[in-house]
Amino acid sequence: MKLTNFFWFQHEEDPVPVLKWDQRLFEQITRGFWFPPESDAQYPRQGQTAADAPLGYITLFEDFFLQGNFRLSATEFMAHILHYYGFHICQMSPPGMVRVRHFEFLCRSHDIEPTVEKFRAFYQLIRNIRFYSFGNRGSAKKILLNPPKSFHD
């Protein structure tokens, strides 16, 4: 699997803004999270947008790792979530990643196997501009009481 900081999913009428990346942070993540050399993770060039990912690469945002506690290789539960909802991991927003990983951690800490059905009891799929995320389901009890509102700094 090739990794990069790009996000390739966009709408033509809604252009993706140029993102400000930090080369040092990229290198810290690739070393600190033990990215395998064969992943060929790449840092975007100046002025590239998330829509400029090279052919054969996917987007993984730094917030997936730093805020969402995502790790390679992904868990089976994450694969089940992506398969059930029918979107690619590079289409998930960082807050969506936080909710999925938090739910999985809570289940595992109570010796409960996380499943899509259990996840759906608390969350529903929502779409925020270009990304997919998960919001609280109607009257379901909140399990993430203070979800992050943004990922600045």
pLDDT tens for 122-140 read 999 998 777 899 988 876 6
Q: What is the average pLDDT value for the chain, to the nearest integer?
A: 78
As a whole number, mean pLDDT of residues 51-62 equals: 80
**Structure pTM?**
0.69
Q: Is residue 147 part of a domain?
A: no
**Beta-bridge partners for 42:** 4
As a whole number, mean pLDDT of residues 113-128 equals: 93
Q: What is the pLDDT of residue 141?
A: 66
Q: Is residue 88 part of a domain?
A: yes
**In this prediction, what percent of the chain has a pLDDT beyond 90?**
26
Q: Flag whether pLDDT at 50 surpasses 70.
A: no
Distance separating alpha carbons of residues 39 and 72, to the nearest angstrom? 11
Q: pLDDT tens digit string along 7-43?
A: 333 334 455 555 566 788 888 888 888 888 888 888 8
Specify the long-range contacts of residues 121-130, CB closer than 8 Å, at least 24 apart: 123/99, 125/85, 128/93, 129/14, 130/7, 130/9, 130/10, 130/11, 130/14, 130/16, 130/91
Range of the domain at 98: 3-136
Q: What is the pLDDT of residue 124?
A: 93
Q: What is the pLDDT of residue 16?
A: 56
Q: Is residue 149 part of a domain?
A: no
Q: Is residue 151 part of a domain?
A: no
Total number of domains constituting the chain:
1
Q: Is residue 108 part of a domain?
A: yes
Q: Is residue 23 part of a domain?
A: yes
Q: Is residue 92 part of a domain?
A: yes
Q: Flag whether pLDDT at 6 surpasses 60.
A: no
Q: Is residue 69 part of a domain?
A: yes
